[in-house]
Amino acid sequence: MTQVDLALMGFGNVGRALARLLLAKRDELKDRYGIDWRVVGVAGRRAGAAINPRGIDLDRALALVGRGGSLAELSPSPAPAGADFVRACGAQVLFENTPVNYETGQPAIDHLRAALESGMHAITANKGPVVHAYRELRDLARARGRRFYFEAAVMDGAPLFSLWRAALPGARLLSFRGILNSTTNLILTLMESGQTFDEAVAQAQSIGVAETDPSGDILGWDAAVKVAALCTVLMDVPLKPQQVERQGIESMTPALLREAREEGRRWKLVCQAEHGAGGLRASVAPERLTPDDALYAVMGTSSSITFFSDVLGPLTVTEDNPGPETTAYGLLADFINAVENRGKS
């Protein structure tokens, strides 16, 4: 049995979903993979931080945060913040789930760097470090004999990166096309059913899909970061979100969606990239799709992507209405793969 000490940095919706999943899967991890775990550090933006080398009761941590308490109650002594928390926690695996920074990827990059330098596997659902520091963190992980994994960074729990890393040896990605932002897809779906733009945004916020400030989704930044991450990792072309041609859905109106529906079409925010003779071109923009388009039927918070390679026909991965629980599964899968040393770094 392998005993693994874990640290959870970021204890919002995804971090708490991961905690619940770890608890639910504990016996299965032991029986099927020979992996047992102990949480020695937990830190949240609002809930504070705790470090305890003897282990932290995750059920108690969840209960504390659920009633607005402080994680500091679980710490024998005050725990530091940021990268100092990572260095002090003594974990073997760091789950980094702090909010994304589209422009710089910080402070998540510093957290992940500190984890790798301290001999930990570094696992994240954060897109920022993938687009702003992928090669640095990948190379650091290889030099330390650790893993830097980020399956949940683009399409929640859907296996995009591990698909190419482990299941498609020798295949070269030429292009992709998909719907990668759940918030805008839900807003467009609600507007198609008759809601105004503001009503659709408010409903998306009320169910926790959209942030209090939804501009990162509406203006296409979240989608552009995901496109940049896919290009950087799967096409080996470093790309920043600012280099992605970007148009959001801020100009969409009920009239435009109604007109499209009358013509048997549907508006979607389409993400795509193609590596051709003239180099790489990547974009995010609304498109009016016909029913024969594979993305036409992707509704609500669902996502879908089609890959085009040099050896296979179109290969499509679709995820139906994901949530924090599916993102948590992507993190859990990375944990198992890292500890079992499956696939390449």
**What 3-state class would DSSP assign to 1?**
coil
Query: What pLDDT does 342 receive?
Result: 54
DSSP symbols for 285-323: EEEEE-TTSTTTT--TT-EEEEEEESSSS-EEEEE-S--
**What 3-state class would DSSP assign to 282?**
strand
Query: What pLDDT does 175 receive?
Result: 97
Q: Which residues contact 117 (CB under 8 A, 6 or more apart)?
A: 140, 144
Query: What pLDDT does 214 receive?
Result: 92
The bridge status of strand 93-96 relative to strand 121-124 is parallel
CA Rg value for the chain: 20
Name the percent of the chain lying above pLDDT 90.
91
Question: And the tokens for 209?
Answer: 């899909």
Q: Same domain, yes or no, for 112 and 218?
A: no
Q: Specify if 162 maps to a domain.
A: no
**What 3-state class would DSSP assign to 113?**
helix
Q: Specify if 163 maps to a domain.
A: no
Q: Same domain, yes or no, for 222 and 182?
A: yes
Give me the residues paired with residue 309 across strands.
173
Q: Same domain, yes or no, for 71 and 213?
A: no
Q: Same domain, yes or no, for 35 and 149?
A: yes
Q: Same domain, yes or no, for 144 and 183?
A: no
Q: Which residues contact 88 (CB under 8 A, 6 or more apart)?
A: 41, 51, 79, 80
| Residue type at 247 in one-letter notation | Q
CATH classification at residue 33: 3.40.50.720
The structural domain count of the chain equals: 2
Q: How far apart are CA 68 and CA 57, in angstroms?
A: 17
pLDDT of 8 above 90: yes
Q: Same domain, yes or no, for 290 and 256?
A: yes
Q: Same domain, yes or no, for 178 and 256?
A: yes
**What 3-state class would DSSP assign to 150?**
coil
Query: What pLDDT does 277 receive?
Result: 80
Q: Same domain, yes or no, for 181 and 279?
A: yes
Q: Specify if 146 maps to a domain.
A: yes
Q: Specify if 21 maps to a domain.
A: yes
Per-residue pLDDT of 65-92, as tens digits, reads 999 999 999 999 999 999 999 999 999 9
**What 3-state class would DSSP assign to 140?**
helix
Question: And the tokens for 31?
Answer: 């029986």
Q: Specify if 167 maps to a domain.
A: no
* Most distant CA pair in the chain, distance: 65
Secondary structure of 21-66 as H, E, C letters? HHHHCHHHHHHHHCEEEEEEEEEECCCEEEECCCCCCHHHHHHHHH
| Residue type at 235 in one-letter notation | M
Q: Same domain, yes or no, for 182 and 151?
A: no
Average model confidence (pLDDT) across the chain: 95
**First-to-final CA distance of the chain:** 23
| Residue type at 312 in one-letter notation | L
Range of the domain at 108: 2-157+325-340
Per-residue pLDDT of 175-204, as tens digits, reads 999 999 999 999 999 999 999 999 999 999
